[in-house]
């Protein structure tokens, strides 16, 4: 059972905190420090391509988040809560752990970027003292100070600071757009020569995904506000409006900034000066570093608000395979259960990456973490759309193709950035899942996730197959066999036969017959029998479908079974009866019901099981008589289909064909042509023409040559049923298992 998450009490936050948390993270470090580099490296259209590709991933994710957030009550834990309540704790915890690390590393990323606002200080220090001041001199104290403020004041103080930051950010961007292009030099006649427009003419495809990996963290801020879900008064309203509003605002601003950079500076300036915006903006030397400091500080603030809440939600659900450490991380302080302990852990992880100090390297790591998370969220939305569970009733609806596109793009972009890192990332995900599954065996897992989607796929395929039946009359034949027997636990050879038929080329449904009237008790008995039979088949890795049939008589059971639709989507076309040679009296009720099955135009097979073990290595013997013209192709096809099962991999089909004296060569030629036309893997050495001498019966020939065969296939005609059938079907007791075959019509071997 999923535990109700009680990490915090609603504090009454509305749409604004979600929007401003998202927009201050979107319009953050990458915007100020790397968009000039992006335009200088891959040009205007390349930068626009990065923006569009990034939003082709983030917008479907934002739509998916908005949709899922309006389907269920969203509590503390943000994206983790949404994932775990949609996918279950196993998948939710797996992605939630990677999400937490991406959020914790994001804290370091924004703190490192915040440090870049102090470039004038670093330059002054170097010029004054002749020693380079390390960036960590600013970044580490800033991280410590920010963490202490949040630990003492809680989320409320963060929201107050957030509004101030957004005001500074808005002013800095306004002054940037008011700025004039950089005038590079003066020509010979005194005219001003600028570099306006020179960045529109190039696109470096080789560097596109390198730059994309560096810039993608700029787009990840759209989910920042979702992490405040536990502190929102109405998450179902605030998350969709705030998230989508921030995403669209970010898209528009980014396009305008790329255009402004392209027409305002040369390629050389864009590449050499990471704070090129300060040379374009009005009062740029002051306002751009101030805007950078404000937005990076707010982004770091947003991340340090969100990451501990994700970790706390994981711990409350006891999702972390860390035993008592879950209780430690789940603890909160105050009425709102502020995640004090989880904040300490997030701080320590961020500190490690702050000490690294390489903003590009950290950006690449964040990109891969977020791409995995966003792809997963889009996949959740797609599976919910495709599976159509009745419980999925969001007030806000996206489209399934947006979600599917977002998922596929996320995976593709990851491979384009670094295929090896992508493979390693997913291997780590699988490892985390295995560990969590081991400690949460009773929780919802991968099989449950896709059950709804598989149900819908199966339903649509079956309806499609039914509608297509009219056009399948001349399609290649394959068996869709049904068998019913009350002896499932006494003997299992017919189950083996059905398993062989349904392995690769055919379909099989086996019914255990329970004689009696349908009642509560017989139903309960049938369910227990069904469970045992399915468990037995699991050991054999069988593709056979198992069910039970409760009916007052064998005849009524046959009538019900032959009207049962096949799980394959195609109509059943073969009925398999079975009896034990040691109990020939069982044959009587089969013979009484053959005409009932033939009324439905079914092919009829009667399996006569012997007391001999199955000798697969001795192969399958197919006996064909001149009177078996209608049965011949079905017998050969059944032999080939059964032979495809691994149980028969070291054996062969051998065909015996009887003929009258003097006709053996022509008979062999006809059979060889039939096999060659059908491209069946039967060699000429495995074809034997049997000429019966005077006084020798077919039974004698079969007994002599097929005594040790693994399976013998013999055809029979309708006339046999009318003239002493008991003598025919019980006359092969000296050989092993026999499959008697009667085709409703001649089959084509294509």
Question: What burial class does residue 45 get, using C-beta atoms within 10 Å of its C-beta: 0-12 exposed, 13-18 middle, 19+ buried?
Answer: middle
Query: Rounded to an integer, what distance in angstroms lies between the CA atom of residue 76 and that of residue 338?
Result: 11
Query: Rounded to an integer, what distance in angstroms lies between the CA atom of residue 111 and that of residue 101?
Result: 16
Residue 8: per-residue pLDDT: 40
Give the SS3 label for residue 298: helix
Q: Which DSSP category does 317 fall into?
A: T
Residue 83 CA neighbour count, 13 Å, CB half: 34
Residue 666: per-residue pLDDT: 63
Query: Rounded to an integer, what distance in angstroms lies between the CA atom of residue 66 and that of residue 63?
Result: 5
Residues 171, 172, 177, 182: what is their CA dihedral angle, to the nearest 10 degrees? Answer: 150
Query: Rounded to an integer, what distance in angstroms lies between the CA atom of residue 397 and that of residue 63?
Result: 8
Helical segments of 599-734, H only: 632-643, 664-677, 698-705, 718-722, 725-729
Domains plus CATH for the chain? 15-180+196-341+368-448 (1.20.1740.10), 469-742 (3.40.50.12370)
Q: Which DSSP category does 320 fall into?
A: S
Mean pLDDT by groups of 10 residues along the chain of 750 residues: 41 71 76 86 88 90 77 63 72 82 85 82 85 86 83 61 78 90 56 47 65 83 63 70 84 91 86 86 88 79 80 82 78 76 89 80 78 81 69 72 90 87 81 77 57 63 60 68 91 91 87 93 93 82 87 92 80 92 90 89 93 88 87 89 88 84 63 63 73 80 90 91 86 92 83
Pull the structure tokens for residue 591. 């013979």
Give CB contacts under 8 A, 24+ apart, made by 382-388: 382/407, 383/449, 383/450, 383/452, 383/453, 384/68, 384/71, 384/86, 384/452, 386/452, 386/453, 386/456, 386/457, 387/451, 387/452, 387/453, 387/455, 387/456, 388/452, 388/456
DSSP for 509-522, please give it.
EEEEEEES---HHH
Of 603, 645, 633, nearest in space to 742 by CA: 603
Of 229, 275, 249, 251, nearest in space to 73 by CA: 229
Pull the structure tokens for residue 119. 């470039």
Residue 196: per-residue pLDDT: 43
192-194 and 183-186 as β-strands: parallel, antiparallel, unpaired?
A: antiparallel
Return all residues near 737 (Cβ < 8 A) that are at least 6 apart: 493, 607, 608, 609, 610, 612, 614, 710, 711, 712
pTM higher than 0.75 for the full model? no
Report the 10 Å Cβ neighbour count for 424: 12
Residue 3: per-residue pLDDT: 43
């Amino acid at each position: 059972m999923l535990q109700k998450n009680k990490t915090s009490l609603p504090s009454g936050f509305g749409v604004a905190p979600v929007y401003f948390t998202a927009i201050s993270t979107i319009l953050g470090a990458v915007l100020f420090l790397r968009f000039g580099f992006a335009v200088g490296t891959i040009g205007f259209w390349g930068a626009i391509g990065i923006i569009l590709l990034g939003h082709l991933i983030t917008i479907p994710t934002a739509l998916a988040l908005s949709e899922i957030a309006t389907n269920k009550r969203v509590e503390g834990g943000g994206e983790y809560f949404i994932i775990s309540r949609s996918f279950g704790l196993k998948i939710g915890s797996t992605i939630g752990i990677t999400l937490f690390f991406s959020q914790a590393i994001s804290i370091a990323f924004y703190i490192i970027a915040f440090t870049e606002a102090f470039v004038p200080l670093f330059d002054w220090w170097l010029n004054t003292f002749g020693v380079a001041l390390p960036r960590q001199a600013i970044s580490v104290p800033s991280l410590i100070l920010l963490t202490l403020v949040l630990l003492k004041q809680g989320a409320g103080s963060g929201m107050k600071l957030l509004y101030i930051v957004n005001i500074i950010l808005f002013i800095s961007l306004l002054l940037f757009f008011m700025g004039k292009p950089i005038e590079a030099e003066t020509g010979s006649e005194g005219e001003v020569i600028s570099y306006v427009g020179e960045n529109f003419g190039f696109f470096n495809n080789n560097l596109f995904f390198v730059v994309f990996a560096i810039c993608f963290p700029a787009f990840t801020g759209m989910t920042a506000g979702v992490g405040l879900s536990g502190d929102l008064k109405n998450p179902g309203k605030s998350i969709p409006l705030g998230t989508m509003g921030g995403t669209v605002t970010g898209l528009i601003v980014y396009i305008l900034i790329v255009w402004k950079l392209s027409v305002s500076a040369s390629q050389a300036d864009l590449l050499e000066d990471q704070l090129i915006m300060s040379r374009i903006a009005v009062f740029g030397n002051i306002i751009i570093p101030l805007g950078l400091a404000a937005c990076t500080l707010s982004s770091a603030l947003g991340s340090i608000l969100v990451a501990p809440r994700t970790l706390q939600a994981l711990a409350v659900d006891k999702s972390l395979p860390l035993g008592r450490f879950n209780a430690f991380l789940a603890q909160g302080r105050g009425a709102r259960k502020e995640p004090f302990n989880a904040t300490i852990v997030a701080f320590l992880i961020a500190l490690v990456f702050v000490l690294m100090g390489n903003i590009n390297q950290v950006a690449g790591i964040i990109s891969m973490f977020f791409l995995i998370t966003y792809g997963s969220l889009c996949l959740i939305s797609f599976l919910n759309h495709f599976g159509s569970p009745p419980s999925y009733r969001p007030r806000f609806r996206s489209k399934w193709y947006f979600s599917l596109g977002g998922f596929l793009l996320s995976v593709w972009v990851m491979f384009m950035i670094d295929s090896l890192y992508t493979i390693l990332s997913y291997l780590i995900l699988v490892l985390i899942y295995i560990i969590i599954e081991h400690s949460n065996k009773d929780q919802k897992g991968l099989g449950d996730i896709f059950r709804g989607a598989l149900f819908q796929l199966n339903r649509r395929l079956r309806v499609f197959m039914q509608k297509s039946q009219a056009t399948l009359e001349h399609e290649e034949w394959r068996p869709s066999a049904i068998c019913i027997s009350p002896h499932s636990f006494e003997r299992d050879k017919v189950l083996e036969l059905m398993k062989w038929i349904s392995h690769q080329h055919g379909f099989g449904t086996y019914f255990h017959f329970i004689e009696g009237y349908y009642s509560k008790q017989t139903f309960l008995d049938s369910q227990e029998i069904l469970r045992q039979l399915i468990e037995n088949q699991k050991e054999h890795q069988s593709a056979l479908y198992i069910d039970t049939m409760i009916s007052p008589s064998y005849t009524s059971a046959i009538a019900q079974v032959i009207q049962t639709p096949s799980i394959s989507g195609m109509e059943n076309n073969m009925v398999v009866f079975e009896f034990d040679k040691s109990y020939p009296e069982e044959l009587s009720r089969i013979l009484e019901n053959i005409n009932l099955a033939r009324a439905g135009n079914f092919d009829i097979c009667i399996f006569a099981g012997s007391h001999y073990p199955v000798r697969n290595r001795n192969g399958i013997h197919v006996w064909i008589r001149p009177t078996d013209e209608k049965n011949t192709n079905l017998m050969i096809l059944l032999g080939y289909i059964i032979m495809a099962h691994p149980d028969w991999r070291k054996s062969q089909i051998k065909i015996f064909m009887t003929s009258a004296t003097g006709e053996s060569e022509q008979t062999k030629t006809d059979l060889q042509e039939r096999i060659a036309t059908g491209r069946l893997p039967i060699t000429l050495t495995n074809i034997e023409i049997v000429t019966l001498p005077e006084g020798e019966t077919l039974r004698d020939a079969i007994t002599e040559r097929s005594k040790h065969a693994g399976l013998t296939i013999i055809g029979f005609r309708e006339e046999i049923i009318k003239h002493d059938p008991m003598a025919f079907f019980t006359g092969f007791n000296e050989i092993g298992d026999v499959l008697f075959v009667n085709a409703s019509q001649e089959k084509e071997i294509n």
